[in-house]
Amino acid sequence: MTRIVLFLTALSALFILSCATGGGGDEPVAGPGKMLESTPAAKPEWLSITGYAQKGGNWYFVGESSKSRTEEDARAKALLNGLSQISSQFGVKVSSELISQEKESNGNYSYDIGVKNKLTGAPIRIKDYKLDATYIEKWDRGVVEFDAKVLVKVPDEEIARIKKEIDALCGWAVLTPREELMNDAMRLVKEFAQLKKFNLKPDADPVAENYTIETLAQKAADSAFFLVLKVKPAEPKNVDGEWYADVAVEAEYISLTENKVIKPYSGSARGAAYTDKDAVKNAFLKAFDEIMTQ
């Protein structure tokens, strides 16, 4: 019994000594390497963000990279990874890097999230973002390598803009001085939108003749696009008991996120009938047929 007690005591002492000396230094060890230093020295709180965080009108995403040979490369790869986290919020998966980048007029880069606009075919990009903070670790893994984590800040408005472009919802309005044309015009706008694959809202918005793109964006805050149909009939004329009318029809397909007219449409026709209203309607239908083929 005494020999067993002495053996267990010696074994316990050996185990304690091994634990005390096994670290080989004060720096933390991760896997096969050893961390030499970090910038900043203390880990920031934002490293705990998973997915994203929302605060003060902004969305925050954490991107990361590892085993880069330079600090600059580590930071750039972490930024791309952070931006890919943004794309994942819209159901887009990006394996490692975003599809492409493009330099904007303000000198910043925008990044293609891997989705194209359903209507224009243009790539949807992350344009408004800020690299808000970085955390860099320098490692010795046989060679010096850098790991990085970055905090990417994106305003609420930018997230909303991207969502609008992905949903491609289209507001619409009909402008005509002749009330009797309104029902036909609204019906034809819906047929036109179906033909062109516009994601038209169920109901039209009231719009003034002197509308601007800014006022349309306010009217249809949930929409990325707007379609305005303008019907301009001339005063009907009676010639030998028959009525004639000339009607011009114009349509503007507008991007509310890019603040520009994407495509204009126009048509004109002359109609004839035994009443002034029928002459105007006949001309309107023929003019709209021209638009349908454009």
Instruction: Let me know the angle formed at the C-alpha of 53 by 47 and 54, rounded to the nearest 5 degrees.
Output: 145
Higher pLDDT, 164 or 106: 164
Rounded to whole angstroms, the Cα distance separating 109 from 181 reads 48
What's the farthest any 2 CA atoms get from each other in the chain? Answer: 134
Q: Mean pLDDT over residues 170-188, rounded? A: 95
Q: Mean pLDDT over residues 139-158, rounded? A: 95
Assigned token pair, 27: 């720096």
Average pLDDT, the chain: 83
Q: Is 1 helix (H, G, I), strand (E, B) or coil?
A: coil
Task: Give the rounded distance of the alpha carbon of 153 from its chain centre.
Answer: 15
Q: Cβ distance 281 to 269 under 8 Å?
A: no
Give the residue among 134, 157, 133, 159 at the shortest CA–CA distance from 147.
Answer: 134
The answer to whether residue 110 scores a pLDDT higher than 50 is yes
Rounded to whole angstroms, the Cα distance separating 187 from 43 reads 61
Long-range contacts of 69-77 (CB under 8 A, 24+ apart): 69/143, 69/144, 69/145, 69/146, 70/146, 71/136, 71/138, 71/146, 71/148, 73/146, 74/136, 74/146, 74/147, 74/148, 75/134, 75/136, 75/148, 75/150, 77/148
Q: Mean pLDDT over residues 82-96, rounded? A: 67
Question: Which residue ranges form the domains of the chain, and what is each CATH number?
Answer: 26-165 (no CATH), 168-292 (3.40.50.10610)
pLDDT band at 93 (very low <50, low <70, confident <90, very high): low
Task: Give the rounded distance of the alpha carbon of 115 from its chain centre.
Answer: 9
The answer to whether residue 36 scores a pLDDT higher than 70 is yes
Backbone angles phi and psi of 9, in degrees to 5 = -65, -45
The answer to whether residue 247 scores a pLDDT higher than 80 is yes
- Residue 73: how many other CB atoms lie within 10 Å: 14
Q: Residue 113, class by beta-carbon neighbours within 10 Å (0-12 exposed, 13-18 middle, 19+ buried)?
A: buried
Contacts of 217 (CB under 8 A, 6+ apart): 226, 256, 259
Backbone angles phi and psi of 244, in degrees to 5 = -130, 145
Assigned token pair, 249: 């029809």
Q: For the segment 280-290, what is each residue's pLDDT rounded down to a tens digit?
A: 999 999 999 99
Q: Mean pLDDT over residues 54-79, rounded? A: 94
Q: Cβ distance 84 to 94 under 8 Å?
A: yes
Write down the pLDDT at residue 279: 96
pLDDT band at 250 (very low <50, low <70, confident <90, very high): very high
The answer to whether residue 160 scores a pLDDT higher than 90 is no
Q: Is 244 helix (H, G, I), strand (E, B) or coil?
A: strand
Assigned token pair, 102: 């493009």
Q: Cβ distance 89 to 74 under 8 Å?
A: no
| Helix (H) or strand (E) segment spanning residue 281 | helix 276-292
Task: Give the rounded distance of the alpha carbon of 228 from its chain centre.
Answer: 24
